[in-house]
Amino acid sequence: MSRINLAVLLVVGLLLVTAKQSMQMSLRNPTAEIETSNCKLTVLRVGLVFTSDRNEKAVIDSGLFTNISYVDIAGRRFHVGTLKNTPIVYVKTGTQTVNVATAVQILLLKFHISGIVFFGNAGSLDKTYVPGTVVVPDAVAFTGVWKWEKFEAENKGQLAFGHYNYPVNGENLLGTAAYENITLYSPSEEPKEVFWLPITLTKEAATEELTKGLKLKECHSGRCQAEFEIIYGSKASTSDFYVKNEAYGDFLVKEFDASTADSASAAVALTALSNEKPFVVIQGVSNVVGVNGSYPELASHNAFLVATTFIKSFPTQRLACE
């Protein structure tokens, strides 16, 4: 087929896509595909993933998202559109790891996704971070997977409850908890037991270049301060419990060198790794464990801003020839 015909097809294809404004899409073929004699030009979308209404508000309020259509699957709405000019699908997963993993797996099965950009709020375990800081970790672990050992067991776990008796340390009937690995399944390797899940995109991409010159929102509750930092290469922890406890936060820092705690990132990482999809985790610090004050809007806003720069960096088309 000639170049001109292909161009005409492209235009017709785009018109068809835009004509479908905000209608429920066919589940069989949720993205636009243009066929040539033996090659298919497929639109690749970036999967934008977050957990909460607050995160979604940051996306909508930015005015950068253009709504084309949506698909409802398993109670989640997958919003198809563009962010600036990049084709995306976004989904609000709901909280807790099982909800997050389910939504990410559906996203990867039903759409042509080039990679996943996850952004969300997190608690900082590092007291030098202020709310509004954005953290782009290069590894995350499930730290809520425990083997709870018996009182006075021979094998002791890392977390010894007696060490935290108040006012004096001592023995405690709760014994100790040992941190467990998780099984990572993948299509090309045997299942393996891992603790840290590597966030490959952060390690590989010139991520600091990407966000250079980005200006994060600097004020919260009428108080303004110097520019917030973007911190790369830290370690993150995920569990299904919310960490408000300072002593436990300090333990996570000491034992695992974790800088943040949330309840979603590791679920995104595990699901993306199982599907061999590139992904990035972007965390806005909404509060610091053990310190008063919570700034969820600011955290979502700044994290989304960083997310937009990653979204731009993904390929948007794939030509697959027979």
Ligand X SMILES: *[C@@H]1O[C@H](CO)[C@@H](O)[C@H](O)[C@H]1NC(C)=O
Q: Interface residues with ligand X (CB under 6 A)? A: 22, 60, 67, 70, 79, 180-181, 193-195, 292
Write the DSSP symbol of residue 164.
G
CB-wise, 81 or 231, nearer to ligand X? 81
Which DSSP helix (H) or strand (E) runs through 178? strand 176-179
Task: Output the CA–CA distances (angstroms, integers) from residue 192 to 105, 143, 196, 322, in the order listed.
Answer: 19, 17, 12, 34
Of 26 and 317, nearer to ligand X (C-beta) is 26
* Structure tokens, 131: 């709310």
Q: Residue 2 and residue 7: Cα distance in Å, rounded?
A: 9
Residue whose CB is less far from ligand X, 90 or 228: 90
41 vs 157, which CB is nearer to ligand X?
A: 157
Backbone angles phi, psi at 233, to 5 degrees: 80, 15
We find the least distance from the C-beta atom of residue 209 to ligand X, in angstroms, to be 30
In this complex, which beta carbon is closest to ligand X, that of residue 83 or of residue 305? Answer: 83
Give least dist CB 164 to ligand X, A. 20
The least distance separating ligand X from the CB of residue 291, rounded to whole angstroms, comes to: 7
Nearer to ligand X, 195 or 232 (CB): 195
Helix axes 296-311, 53-61, angle to 10 degrees: 60
State which residue, 216 or 236, has the beta carbon closest to ligand X.
Answer: 236
Instruction: Name which of 164, 124, 64, 116 is nearest 274 in CA terms.
Output: 116
Residue type for 89, please?
V
In whole angstroms, the minimum distance from the beta carbon of 295 to ligand X comes to 15
Cα torsion angle, 216, 217, 220, 226, sign:
positive
Q: Which of 237, 209, 224 is nearest to 137 (CA)?
A: 237
Tell me the closest approach of the beta carbon of residue 260 to ligand X, in angstroms: 21
Cis previous bond, 167, omega within 30: yes
Rounded Cα distance between 219 and 298, Å, is 8
Give the nearest distance from C-beta 106 to ligand X in angstroms: 18
Shortest CB 86 distance to ligand X, Å: 15
CA distances from 127 to 123, 248, 308 (A): 10, 14, 27
